[in-house]
Amino acid sequence: MTPIAWIGDAVDAIDTPALVLDLDAMERNIARMAAFARVHGVRWRPHAKMHKCAALAQRLVAAGAAGACVQKTAEAEALAAAGVQDLYISNEVLAPAKLARVAQLARTLQQRGGRLAIAVDSDEGVDRLAAALAGAQSAIDVFVEIDVGQGRCGQPPGPAAAQLGKRIAAVPALRFAGLQAYHGKAQHLRSADDRRAAIAAVLLLVRDTLDAFAQVGLAVPLVTGAGTGSMLHEAASGIYGELQSGSFLFMDADYAGNDAEADQPVFEHALFVKSQVMSRGPRHAVCDAGHKSHAIDSGLPVVHRPEGGLVWRYGNGGDEHGLLHADEGQPLPELGQTVWLVPGHCDPTVNLHDMLVGVRGGLLQGRVEELLRVDARGALA
């Protein structure tokens, strides 16, 4: 495929649509996150389901992160193959063929001085994982996932989770590593009060579960969870030892819609879809970025004008087109004009692209400094 950009090119020369990363903004976001974790005395293990890029996972570790989270076995394999050493599959894996790969990867990472961890939420999950590890001459860290309000995976909080912990601890190749308590939905509540209340409810459930573990005499080394939208509360809880927040790195339009909170670091948009106007009607313009270029599960992208000026409204034009509207009496963009979009949701947007075009010096005067491969793009399995 024709490359969308060359290192050293001016921003203007980047083909469209392209996923462009403002490296300066991203580095400021990393510094803010590192400072936040330091102040709260918690570890951070940013979720690589968002960026899917080994180079970025390693840059985050260099800035102090403990490693990377992933959601899928294939993501873990792709990042490990590109050099990432400390990986946590923060999700359940049930298929025996996939668990054999997990066991293989645990051994590979261990031999390299790295480490693999995984989540479970059922007896069956523990037993199958134990069977896969049995012949693998390696060990793996295992977290018990509890459902703290997300309504998706996870054991109910309390005694059932503690029983699962004991089942793990009874298998020599499985190291009980702690609790995963993640409430993804809470992060997208718009009001700061609602987010605070949702995480307060989470903390009660985690405390109950910690009590249940104490009653069966099993120490819980770590509670892991949280995301960009709610991490202020998990970090301040004294219970969570590790934050999984990933979106702070790029920031999307959805997170930016949350109410601001004192003490919450302000992260900048660092990820943009560069597009171009390729058709003009009397009352609208059409750009070359539709929902094959950006995910729309959390809403349409928002137009961003680095040069200032009026912002057009983006309307759904289907898979390959975006419609641009202006307020009454205001000018539309011209044929051929560059239009920048902030995606509604970073994670599935990055997963549409093979490459991130890293720009230094801003979207107006900057140059392409690096091309970042999205190593785990399409790593679904």
Please report how close the Cβ of residue 36 comes to a second copy at its closest, in angstroms.
Answer: 24
**Listed ranges 170-178, 256-264, 287-295, 363-371: which one lies at the site for a second copy (CB under 8 A):** 287-295
User: Do 111 and 144 form a contact (C-beta atoms < 8 A)?
Assistant: no
Q: Is 276 in the site for a second copy (CB under 8 A)?
A: yes
Write the binding mask 168 to 207 for a second copy: x where contact by CB under 8 A, - elsewhere.
Answer: ----------------x-----------------------
Site track 210-249 with a second copy (rule: CB under 8 A), x = hit? ----------------------------------------
Q: What number of other Cβ atoms are within 10 A of residue 240's Cβ?
A: 26
Q: Which residues contact 111 (CB under 8 A, 6 or more apart)?
A: none
Q: Spell out the alpha helix ranges (H) of 325-374.
A: 346-350, 362-365
Per-residue x/- track, 63-82, a second copy (CB under 8 A): --------xx-x--xx----
Dihedral (C-alpha) 339, 343, 347, 348: value to the nearest 10 degrees? -80
Q: How far is the CB of 71 from a second copy (least distance, A)?
A: 5
CA dihedral angle for residue 25, residue 31, residue 36, residue 41, rounded to 10 degrees: 150
Cβ nearer to a second copy, comparing 115 with 345: 345
Measured from the CB atom, the residue of 37 and 368 that comes closer to a second copy is 368
Q: Which two tokens stand for residue 58?
A: 């390693």
Q: What is the DSSP string of 256-319?
A: HTSPP-TTSPPPPP-EEEEEEEEEE-SS-EEES--TTTS--TT---EEE-TT-S--PEEEE--S
The span of 133-141, 220-228, 279-287, 324-332 binding a second copy (CB under 8 A) equals: 279-287
From its phi and psi, is residue 131 left (phi > 0), alpha (psi between -120 and 50) or beta? alpha
The stretch among 169-177, 197-205, 236-244, 283-291 that binds a second copy (CB under 8 A) is 283-291
Interface with a second copy (CB under 8 A), residue from 169, 222, 256, 278: 278
Q: What angle do CA 113, 117, 121 make, to 5 degrees?
A: 165
Give the total residue count for the chain.
381
Joined together, the tokens standing for residue 277 give 């106007």
Segment 336 to 365, residues that bind a second copy, using CB under 8 A = 336, 347-348, 351-354
Give CA–CA dist 85/88, Å, rounded: 10
Binding a second copy (rule: CB under 8 A), the pick from 10, 31, 39, 94 is: 94
211 or 297, CB closer to a second copy? 297
CA atoms within 13 A on the CB side of 235: 25
CA-CA distance, 251 to 247, in Å (whole number)?
5
CB nearer a second copy, residue 263 or residue 354: 354
- Nearest approach in angstroms of CB 354 to a second copy is 5
Question: Could you say whether residue 127 binds a second copy (CB under 8 A)?
Answer: no
Residue 379 as a binder of a second copy (CB under 8 A): the answer is yes
Task: Give yes or no for a contact between 302 and 314, defined as CB atoms under 8 angstroms apart.
Answer: yes
Among 11, 18, 60, 164, contact with a second copy (rule: CB under 8 A): 18
Q: Name the residues that contact a second copy, by CB under 8 A.
A: 1-2, 4, 13, 15-18, 49, 71-72, 74, 77-78, 91-95, 97-98, 101, 121-122, 124-125, 147, 151-154, 184, 276-281, 284, 286, 288-289, 291-293, 295-297, 316-321, 323, 335-336, 347-348, 351-354, 377-381
